[in-house]
Chains A and B, each alone.
Chain A
């Protein structure tokens, strides 16, 4: 039998494009409501519980490159996210000499397979930034609208943390946090001296079980490799696969969506996609289409969904589609702690992330930038792999020899070998991750001249940081130096200056890009309404971070999950009422 493009045939109730946090949550909620669901995923299936898929607990000698990064695994050869910033045959371009790095994962679960599991709720202020500082726009919804969903996400997926009662860092239903590691105790000492808070981390790993289906964390510090007992949150293991077991969910892998198809009335009728095996075009029909392909990919699909009824694509007349693209800010610094040279050995792997972190503590009214940042901490006796023992040409000077003299940089031999052992586990550092101000002029659009290998027009980015973000990065580095120095560390490297925007990383590097299909009350200036329903196509919904009006100084995933659940409830309600 040959597979022709067919537009007839029975339809699904819902087609979901993408299987990451947003698509995964929608697949669970919509299928549990009894709807038939198709999940369309551009990559392959993946299940870390299968031994052939497992990269967890593999030592570096099971990789010929000993865990070094590759083009499709920029975070190392055992990292579970397949894709990266530069995917063969799937280019994107830039405008006006600006930079934006777009990280994509092509696999079931998407980027949730490797993310940091930092699971922070947005706080009441995070939905009302324009009212507070006059920049950007308020969300059309507030914390109270999402709180019930955050609560449900906490219980369904699991997050550890501590109840702190901080107004803009709302508490949730927490599992017990793990005790701090040694370097975290030193950093806490440094933060205390600087009057900067440092509290238990809030990460979605199961320190205790929450149900019979998922295992409990066994502390290997490798959540970025995806967990074989499902003790961390990945969309594939915790949402998509369970939904397939329970409900009527069909998963289409290796399927790259070209566009949403529409009828003469402008309603979505399904999707058209290219299957990567045979490079042929297929069509599926549904009553509702849900986009969860990631903020930029979903915007791209909407832009490419041109038809008689939507000549500029779906949402193309909003003057908002692709605009207000923004990523978190990021900058990092490290030091070496003489107190940790020659340290005792014990297994301090812990969870795959920090056991303590710093939520934003500042008052922006007294600062020269508008929005805050949180601080993530790292260090300790991590798994030796590619890179271990490196940089002795600059690091050996921090070691004192048996006569108390500082060692010479570089060298070779048994003495250097011993110095590497003495230095092991003594470096530490921190990363600031902050809120940027969304801008109309930071956007992605269709490049009229370039297509990917499936013949689908690609995105072209235009993105500039402003003084708001640059001055925030400057403040980060002042804080980093203060905490590190107070902790007793010697600073490594130099403090970045204005010539490098104070070490501010290029946009896209933090992989928190949001805002391209933002929500709002009006069909002009926003793409979807407060239920993430397209203004100009009422049976099309967006469940990734595209609808975010502003990306707080928090990681976006917990809010994606809560919003997707809320949107899914709305879809079920509207189908029942026959409104869509």
Chain B
């Protein structure tokens, strides 16, 4: 085997960037990838990405007490109704747990806000947040959930609650149940043939006559394109 073939084998092999070569022949060096990736993002990943996902998934950020507080809040933000589940039913708190580690700039704000809940519960009711009744919880939530009419002293807590609301929505609408609730019907192979006629009619739109002859016709999607010398499609 000449040098070029050696190099070619070495550099086109399946080894990823995370592995150091220690073996003697290129064949031996193509070690199987370690099975450390269960639970990370699917599809093409670098070894560094797999490693990182795995580490984040194995770490714990929230305490049980914090998880309980968040469980209460996310189900107030997105409760169950007759068409769809609640936020905790689609594991929104687990999603938040991951995001705290994935984007650590969330951590201080989130933890600070969850601590503030106990302060506020103590001031108002002499209890911790997790000991409050539903009505008492709502009383606190109402102080922070309406940014345009919140009292100025709640400004910091309002901004924290905005973050909790945003994360709850992200975690909810990125699930199968969330897609179903929103009525999203994409992400599937199809042949786009324009806006449905009834929707065009409702909004008073008609296709520009000039382009009607050249728009893609779904029935021609199987025919290989042929042009004349002027760039006109002739087949």
- Chain A residues within 8 Å of B, Cβ to Cβ: 1, 3, 6, 9-10, 44-46, 48, 52-55, 57-68, 70, 72, 77-78, 80, 82, 88, 151, 154-155, 158, 160, 162-163, 171-182, 185-186, 200, 207-212, 216, 218-221, 225, 250-255, 275-278, 282, 284, 339, 343-351, 381-394, 397, 408-414, 416-417, 420-421, 424
Q: Which of B44, B99, B172, B220 contacts A54 (CB 8 A)?
A: B44
Other than the given A44-B16, A251-B11, A254-B11, 19 more pairs (CB < 8 A) read A9-B2, A65-B98, A77-B41, A88-B48, A178-B216, A220-B188, A276-B17, A277-B15, A277-B20, A282-B7, A284-B7, A343-B199, A345-B183, A350-B192, A383-B187, A389-B166, A409-B148, A412-B165, A413-B77
Known contacts A252-B8, A408-B149; is-contact A1 B225 (Cβ 8 Å): no
Contacts of A174 in B (CB 8 A): 231, 233
How far is B135's CA from A461's CA once the two chains are assembled, in angstroms?
Answer: 58
Pair B78/A417 contact, Cβ less than 8 Å: yes
Pair A392/B43 contact, Cβ less than 8 Å: no
B76 within 8 A of A: yes
Pair B165/A410 contact, Cβ less than 8 Å: yes
Known contacts A216-B221, A253-B11; is-contact A72 B44 (Cβ 8 Å): no
Instruction: List the B residue with the shortest CB-CB distance to A4.
Output: B3
Contacts of B39 in A (CB 8 A): 64
Which residues of B (169-202) have their CB < 8 Å from a CB of A? 169-176, 178-179, 181-196, 198-200, 202
Known contacts A45-B12, A46-B44, A250-B4; is-contact A179 B169 (Cβ 8 Å): no
How far is B74's CA from A343's CA once the two chains are assembled, in angstroms?
Answer: 27
Pair B179/A346 contact, Cβ less than 8 Å: no
Known contacts A70-B102, A162-B214, A208-B221; is-contact A61 B175 (Cβ 8 Å): yes
A172, A176, A343: most-surrounded residue (chain B CB, <10 A): A176
Pair A420/B173 contact, Cβ less than 8 Å: yes
Pair B170/A412 contact, Cβ less than 8 Å: no
With both chains docked as a complex, state the minimum distance between the C-beta of A143 and any C-beta of chain B, in angstroms. Answer: 15
Q: Which of A53, A67, A175, A387 contacts B225 (CB 8 A)?
A: A175
How far is B19's CA from A548's CA once the two chains are assembled, in angstroms?
Answer: 39
Pair A176/B217 contact, Cβ less than 8 Å: yes
The 3 closest A-B pairs by CB, nearest first: A389-B169, A179-B194, A55-B43
With both chains docked as a complex, state the minimum distance between the C-beta of B87 and any C-beta of chain A, in angstroms. Answer: 10
Pair B215/A176 contact, Cβ less than 8 Å: yes
How far is B168's CA from A391's CA once the two chains are assembled, in angstroms?
Answer: 11
B49, B178, B217: most-surrounded residue (chain A CB, <10 A): B178
Pair A412/B76 contact, Cβ less than 8 Å: yes
Q: Mark B144-175, 1 if CB is under 8 A from A, else 0.
A: 01111100000000100110011001111111
Pair B179/A59 contact, Cβ less than 8 Å: yes
How far is B7's CA from A6's CA once the two chains are assembled, in angstroms?
Answer: 11
Q: Which of B46, B146, B198 contacts A72 (CB 8 A)?
A: B46
Pair B102/A384 contact, Cβ less than 8 Å: no
Known contacts A60-B174, A409-B148; is-contact A173 B44 (Cβ 8 Å): no
With both chains docked as a complex, state the minimum distance between the C-beta of A3 and any C-beta of chain B, in angstroms. Answer: 7
How far is B175's CA from A60's CA once the two chains are assembled, in angstroms?
Answer: 7
With both chains docked as a complex, state the minimum distance between the C-beta of A412 and any C-beta of chain B, in angstroms. Answer: 4
With both chains docked as a complex, state the minimum distance between the C-beta of A257 and any C-beta of chain B, in angstroms. Answer: 13
Contacts of B222 in A (CB 8 A): 209, 216
Contacts of B191 in A (CB 8 A): 218-219
Contacts of B183 in A (CB 8 A): 345, 421, 424
How far is B226's CA from A211's CA once the two chains are assembled, in angstroms?
Answer: 10
Instruction: List the A residue with the shortest CB-CB distance to B144.
Output: A410
With both chains docked as a complex, state the minimum distance between the C-beta of A209 and any C-beta of chain B, in angstroms. Answer: 5
How far is B44's CA from A60's CA once the two chains are assembled, in angstroms?
Answer: 15
Pair A179/B11 contact, Cβ less than 8 Å: no
With both chains docked as a complex, state the minimum distance between the C-beta of B158 and any C-beta of chain A, in angstroms. Answer: 8
Pair A9/B78 contact, Cβ less than 8 Å: no
How far is B1's CA from A3's CA once the two chains are assembled, in angstroms?
Answer: 13
How far is B186's CA from A345's CA once the two chains are assembled, in angstroms?
Answer: 10
Contacts of B190 in A (CB 8 A): 218-219, 347, 349
Contacts of A176 in B (CB 8 A): 214-217, 220, 233
Contacts of B77 in A (CB 8 A): 412-413, 416
How far is B215's CA from A210's CA once the two chains are assembled, in angstroms?
Answer: 17
Pair B3/A9 contact, Cβ less than 8 Å: yes
With both chains docked as a complex, state the minimum distance between the C-beta of B206 and any C-beta of chain A, in angstroms. Answer: 9
Pair A208/B220 contact, Cβ less than 8 Å: yes
Q: Which of A58, A65, A220, A282 contacts B186 (CB 8 A)?
A: A220
Q: Which of B43, B203, B214 contacts A185 (CB 8 A)?
A: B203
B118 within 8 A of A: no
A-B contact pairs, 22 of them (CB 8 A): A53-B43, A63-B42, A64-B53, A65-B98, A65-B102, A70-B102, A151-B231, A179-B215, A200-B211, A207-B216, A208-B220, A209-B223, A250-B4, A253-B12, A277-B21, A284-B4, A348-B192, A349-B190, A410-B161, A411-B145, A416-B78, A424-B183
Known contacts A63-B42, A185-B203, A412-B76; is-contact A220 B174 (Cβ 8 Å): no
Pair A387/B44 contact, Cβ less than 8 Å: no
Q: Which of B8, B21, B40, B179 contacts A250 (CB 8 A)?
A: B8
Contacts of A383 in B (CB 8 A): 184, 186-187
Q: Which of B16, B84, B186, B199 contacts A344 (CB 8 A)?
A: B199
How far is B19's CA from A378's CA once the two chains are assembled, in angstroms?
Answer: 42
Contacts of B179 in A (CB 8 A): 59, 384
Contacts of B182 in A (CB 8 A): 384, 388, 420-421, 424
Q: Which of A344, A351, A414 contacts B81 (CB 8 A)?
A: A414
Pair A410/B187 contact, Cβ less than 8 Å: no
Pair A72/B49 contact, Cβ less than 8 Å: yes
Known contacts A254-B11, A387-B170; is-contact A177 B214 (Cβ 8 Å): yes
Contacts of B3 in A (CB 8 A): 6, 9
Pair A220/B221 contact, Cβ less than 8 Å: no
B56 within 8 A of A: yes
Q: Which of B76, B170, B195 contacts A181 (CB 8 A)?
A: B195
